[in-house]
Structure 1
Amino acid sequence: MPDSRSDPLLQIADDLYGLPLADFTPSRDALVKEHKADKALAAGIKGLRKASAAAWVVNLLVRRDPDQVDQVLAVGAALRDAQENLDAAQLREFTKQRRQLTASVTTAARRMAREEGVRTTESVADQVEATLTAAMLEPDAARAVRSGLLVTAIEATGLGDLDLSGAVALPEALGFSATARPAPGPDPTTRPQLHVVPDPDADAKARAAADERLSDARSALSEAEKEHRAARRTVEKLQARTLQVQSEIDELRSRIAELEGALEEVDDELGDAEAVQAETEEAVDEAREEVETARAARDKLRGG
């Protein structure tokens, strides 16, 4: 298994990807200059890509709460081992539990990011949850997540066709475990130290970092506006549907009122018909009695 103590590039990557997202680029560039005497190492550092927002949130989670991440990965491994022996009902139940777990851990990761001053959009949260789900479905994705060196989110189908070539900062990341870094306290010495040498181009790089931060903020704004437009369209569709349903209810109420009026008329007619029926039944009974009386009189005359 790769060891950061014996691989300086992995050690530097472990430190860099544990930094706040806005600090990554200036810190990386400063380290390139610091290690310029070692051209291979400097080139390797320069090739480290900045993580996407979702990948950074997952990397943060891995460092802040590795035990929780290990629990997620352990549950995923157990589910993969048991999958062949489970019936459909059990699989559905385990899938439900898996979704509940990844949703819960994603919520915790978003809270950690918020404590770092980073707001995660719903789109980023969906990518974080998809990455955790991939880690439960695919062993390689699990190793990539545990490395804490993700640069992009991961999405897996569970069919074994996952391509991680561009998902991690280094090929050696698979099998590497990120160094745990609990949330820093008030003492600034608890932050990861990169031993960055003074940089004569600090002002230019600060401006570049500010430009990058502005670009990130604009991207976040664009994503937020996109989500807002989608939410507004949903509201408009539901409002239109509400009006339609209300119109149908009004029509049904009008129809019910008409039917209730018709029912009253039918009830009145039924009452009259039942009265006539009673009268005719009484007339029938009287006629039958008259027939019997006449028959008896006739039979008496014949017998006489």
Structure 2
Amino acid sequence: MTETLLEIADELYALPPGEFTAARDARAKELKGTDLAAPVKALKKPGIAAWVVNLLVRREAGQVDQLLNVGAALREAQAAMSAGELRTLTKQRRQVTAAVTQMARQHAAEAGHKVTQAVADQVEATLTAAMVDADCGRAVRSGLLVGPLQTTGVDPIGEAALATALAVPEALGFSATAREAPEPGPPDLRVVPDPDAADKARAAAEERRDQAAASYDEAHGAHADAVADVDRLSARSLQLQAELDELRRRVADLESELDEVDDELGDAEDVRDEAAAALRTATAERDAAQAALDKIR
């Protein structure tokens, strides 16, 4: 059976970044003389963030589907204007994207690629876009991203942005084939003396120390950013609470003043009604007196 472009792309985008170009070119060479040779050769190598998301989709299809289901529920709640459910699902969206992003980083690390914070931010933005925009969700589920996605959900992402982020336009609606992490190979039981073992061990320890220091610096920076966000939002919350309290006091004052005005209005209406009655009586008396005078004349 002849393979389709999507099937070939599904296979290629499951590969590590370092193997993609050679494998793509080899497949294009195998297909030389067919209609698929040029489209396969034109497949772009995915960026690191896109590769991490593609890897996640293949390793954790169930988790990705759960993320997309939460996104669909969130969009439905937004359309129905259910405020309580909207708050709950928005909080759940943030929790899910953060958790799944961390899961994606772990899979990338197991595949031999350390994910920087900048790349992790792109991964999380892509997952968030998949939740708030249905087309982004379909693009992510395809496992054929070549670039990250980003959208606020206010407006559709647009065909141009999707086309830039996808390997092939037909990827929308395609689901990546699930793939298990490769099993580690059998251990090499041969014992070969290594004269440089001590130097290698020291170099490995130094590298581990440097990596740990870099991880610490990254974690420290992330913590500082999070603390700053909490401080900023706490200050804003206090400000809004103060403004809300002032508005409540103003409403109470206005309600009290309204009650007083209503009482005065009632009294004024009574006085008006009495004056109107007196006016009618005086009018009648005046007309009667005029009539009597006219009769005498």
TM-score category by the smaller chain?
0.5 to 0.7
Q: Give 5+ residue unaligned stretches, structure 2.
A: 187-213, 229-297
User: 2:163 aligns to what SS in structure 1?
Assistant: coil
Percent identity over paired residues: 58
2:207 aligned partner: none
Q: Does 1:182 align with 2:180?
A: yes
1:93 aligned partner: 88
Change in 2 beyond 3 A, CA 1:31/1:147: same
For 1:183, the aligned partner's letter is A
Partner of residue 163 from structure 2, selected from 150, 165, 168? 165
Alpha-carbon displacement from aligned partner over 1:27-59 (angstroms, at most 9, x marks no partner): 111111111121x31100111001110000000
Q: CA deviation at 1:158?
A: 0.5
Equivalences for residues 145-294 of structure 1 within 5 A: 145-163=140-158, 164-186=162-184
2:56 aligned partner: 61
Change in 2 beyond 3 A, CA 1:156/1:145: same
Is 2:125–2:150's contact at 8 Å kept on the other side of the alignment? Answer: yes
Q: Does 1:41 align with 2:36?
A: yes
Counterpart-to-counterpart distance in 1, 2:100 and 2:127: 8
Alpha-carbon displacement from aligned partner over 1:143-191 (angstroms, at most 9, x marks no partner): 1000000000000111233031111100110000000001111469xxx
How many residues are paired up? 194
1:112 aligned partner: 107
Counterpart-to-counterpart distance in 2, 1:157 and 1:181: 31
Counterpart-to-counterpart distance in 2, 1:71 and 1:93: 16
1:211 aligned partner: none
For 2:105, the aligned partner's letter is R
TM-score computed with the length of structure 2 as normaliser: 0.60
Counterpart-to-counterpart distance in 2, 1:111 and 1:186: 16
2:14 aligned partner: 18
Q: CA deviation at 1:91?
A: 2.4
Q: Does 1:32 align with 2:28?
A: yes
For 1:46, the aligned partner's letter is K
Calculate the aligned-residue CA RMSD, in Å. 2.8
TM-score computed with the length of structure 1 as normaliser: 0.59
Q: Name the structure, 1 or 2, with higher relative contact order (CA <8 Å, separation 6+).
A: 1
Is 2:77–2:85's contact at 8 Å kept on the other side of the alignment? Answer: no
Is 2:51–2:146's contact at 8 Å kept on the other side of the alignment? Answer: yes
Partner of residue 130 from structure 2, selected from 131, 135, 151? 135
Regions of 4+ moved over 4 Å: none
For 1:179, the aligned partner's letter is T
Larger Rg: 1
For 2:78, the aligned partner's letter is Q
